[in-house]
Structure formats: structure tokens, C-alpha cells
């Protein structure tokens, strides 16, 4: 009865309002309903991403626990193989040794398969963390409640996902001296020049480290190739030809080399191994591609193209040359900034002296 009375009074109140007021109240109420609906949708997306992350972590823990148990079984099997090898030779011993070796090899294959599954699951966890971080960022941008915002901030802090920002180019300040500018305008211009100098100095130092790093890697690569070429002339092993003429086997009548291959080491390859990351740089990051964007107003078009090519290339010489070329142009721009700043400072001192 009370609910019916409240409904009647509300309708009577709305009927007593002017037409414009009734329309405005309905529009405001509709906007509030739409906002609440959108907030619930974004919250459900975040909760769904969080549940996926928890499920992925649970699978990873299960796989790690299975690997630990399987590793213990494998170690016991290896110990049993060693015990059988040290025991007295007999037909029974040989049969048990063969069976134990077969079981240990089967366990080793299962361990390898489990390792691949764990690596794949770790990638899935990282992907789920990024998805949750994106969902939380979207929900935070739509003005949730203060309690919900605090909860989302805590969840985001526990993820440990670093969101990489897009590289921004360094804007070069105006170096022209305005004779009619006052002291405050000149100080602002000097501050902009100093800001650009700090950013360019950081880029120049990073490019110098990269140039030295990849030049050293190129030197090591050429030495390794040279050592492989010289080692070919020191081959004093006996080569035998078995079977048809023209078919050669390895040394000592085998099909592989005794030296590097039997020891588990492959012969030197012409393919360059990935260089170790420099200090302060992200492994596998787009360092040269980012530099081509950051220094787009500093270096010429050919140097930008060389930096992008160095990002795609696997040759350390190409990377070293591109870094050296960009570093020289950054140094030139730093000298121009220093000269422009000194010219403005002299004019500022003259203004203050007058």
C-alpha cells in the first residue's frame, strides 16, 4: 500500500511540473542510468580479466608442482641407473639396466614437454596481466567510486606491469636572438635550450655506448670467423672414404666430427648471436626505432633511415655505424645549442647592465 502511494505521489508530482522540467528530469535520470550501466560493464570486464589471471596462475602453479614431483622421480631413476652400473655384470643386471634407462628416458621426455608447457603458461600469465592492466586503466578513466578506485589501484600495483609509453621526439627550441625581447622572455628561451641540451646529452651518451658495444661485438665476430678459417688449415686428422667414391664420412670412419660436435659444441656459424643489452636498456626493445622517432628533428632523413635499418638488422657493424652517425649529428646539434645559449646570455647581460 505504501509503495503504491509513493508511486502515485511521484506521478502526481511529475504531472504537476512544467513540460520542460519533466523532460529535463527524465533526461538527467536517463544519463545517470546510462552512466551506471557503463560503469557496471567496465567493472565486469575488469573482474572477468582478473578471474582469467587467477586461473592462469593456478594452472602455472599446478604445472610447477608436477614438474617438481617428476624431477624427484627422474633423480631417483638416475640414481638407480648409477647403482646398476656399479653392480656386478650379469644377464639380470643388464636387463634391469636397459629397463631403467628406458624409464629414465621416458621421464626425461616428459620433463621436456612439461618445461615447454610451463614456458607457454608463463606467457599466458603475462598476457593475462596485460589484459587486466588494460581493463583497469579503462575502468579508471570512467570515474568509478572512490572505494572502487582504491581497490583498482591496489590491484594494479600488485601486477608489476610496466606500461611503455610511446617515444616522443625532442623539440628543438628557437635559437634566434630577438633584440626587442625583455629579460623574462630571454630567460624562458634559455630554459628551453637547457631542457633540450639535457635530453640531447642523454641521447648522445646512449648512442655512444651503443656504438662502442656493437663495434666490440663486430670485432669479436670477425675474430671468431678468422679463427674458424685458420682452424680449417690445421686439420691433420685422417679422412676415410667408405662405400661409393665421392661419399666421405667423418674422422675415424664416423659420420660426425670428433672435436667440436662430439663435445656438444657446434662449429662456428656465420649467423650473429643476439648482442647483450646495454645498461639501462630493455632486452629486445626497439631502441634504434625509438631513437629515429626521438631524434627526428635533430638528425637528417638518411640517418633516420639508417637507424630503422639497424633495428631490423642482425649485423653489429650496421648497428654500430648507425649509432655512430646519429651520435655525430647529435653532437653537432649540441654545439649549436651551446653557441645559441651563449649568444643569448651575452645579450641578457648587456640588458641587465643597461
Query: Is residue 63 within 8 Å of residue 118, measured between CB atoms?
Result: yes
Note the pLDDT of residue 8.
Answer: 40
CB-based burial, 54-77: b 16+ in 10 Å, e otherwise: eebeeebeebeeebeeeeeebeeb
**∠ CA 88-76-62, rounded to 5°:** 165
pLDDT digits (tens, 9 = 90+) for 334-351: 999 999 999 999 988 888
d(Cα 42, Cα 156) in Å, to the nearest integer? 15
pLDDT digits (tens, 9 = 90+) for 236-268: 555 554 444 444 444 444 443 334 433 333 444
Query: What end-to-end distance do the CA atoms of the chain give, in Å?
Result: 89
**pTM, whole model, 2 decimals?**
0.47
Q: If DSSP codes are grouped into helix, strand and coil, which group holds residue 189?
A: helix
Amino acid at each position: 500500500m505504501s509503495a503504491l502511494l509513493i508511486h502515485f505521489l511521484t506521478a502526481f508530482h511529475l504531472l504537476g511540473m512544467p513540460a520542460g522540467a519533466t523532460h529535463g528530469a527524465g533526461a538527467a535520470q536517463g544519463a545517470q542510468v546510462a552512466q551506471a550501466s557503463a560503469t557496471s560493464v567496465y567493472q565486469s570486464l575488469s573482474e572477468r580479466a582478473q578471474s582469467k589471471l587467477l586461473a592462469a596462475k593456478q594452472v602455472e602453479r599446478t604445472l610447477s608442482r608436477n614438474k617438481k614431483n617428476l624431477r624427484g622421480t627422474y633423480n631417483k631413476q638416475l640414481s638407480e641407473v648409477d647403482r646398476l652400473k656399479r653392480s656386478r655384470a650379469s644377464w639380470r643386471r643388464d636387463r634391469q639396466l636397459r629397463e631403467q634407462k628406458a624409464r629414465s628416458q621416458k621421464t626425461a621426455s616428459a620433463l621436456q614437454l612439461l618445461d615447454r608447457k610451463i614456458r607457454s603458461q608463463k606467457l599466458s600469465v603475462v598476457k593475462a596481466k596485460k589484459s587486466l592492466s588494460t581493463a583497469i586503466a579503462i575502468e579508471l578513466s570512467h570515474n568509478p567510486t572512490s572505494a572502487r578506485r582504491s581497490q583498482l589501484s591496489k590491484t594494479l600495483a600488485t601486477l608489476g606491469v610496466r606500461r611503455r609509453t610511446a617515444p616522443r621526439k625532442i623539440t628543438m627550441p628557437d635559437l634566434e636572438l630577438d633584440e626587442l625581447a625583455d629579460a623574462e622572455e630571454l630567460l624562458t628561451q634559455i630554459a628551453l635550450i637547457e631542457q633540450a641540451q639535457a635530453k640531447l646529452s642523454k641521447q648522445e651518451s646512449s648512442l655512444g655506448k651503443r656504438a662502442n658495444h656493437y663495434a666490440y661485438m663486430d670485432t669479436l665476430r670477425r675474430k671468431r670467423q678468422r679463427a674458424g678459417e685458420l682452424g680449417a688449415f690445421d686439420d691433420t686428422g685422417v679422412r676415410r672414404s667408405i662405400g661409393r667414391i665421392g661419399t666421405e664420412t667423418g674422422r675415424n670412419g664416423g659420420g660426425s666430427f670428433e672435436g667440436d660436435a662430439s663435445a656438444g659444441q657446434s662449429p662456428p656459424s656465420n649467423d650473429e648471436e643476439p648482442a647483450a643489452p646495454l645498461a639501462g636498456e630493455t632486452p629486445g626493445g626497439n631502441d634504434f626505432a625509438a631513437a629515429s622517432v626521438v631524434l627526428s628533428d635533430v638528425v637528417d632523413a638518411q640517418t633516420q633511415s639508417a637507424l630503422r635499418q639497424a633495428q631490423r638488422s642482425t649485423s653489429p657493424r650496421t648497428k654500430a655505424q648507425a649509432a655512430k652517425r646519429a651520435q655525430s649529428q647529435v653532437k653537432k646539434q649540441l654545439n649549436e645549442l651551446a653557441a645559441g645559449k651563449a649568444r643569448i646570455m651575452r645579450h641578457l647581460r648587456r640588458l641587465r647592465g643597461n
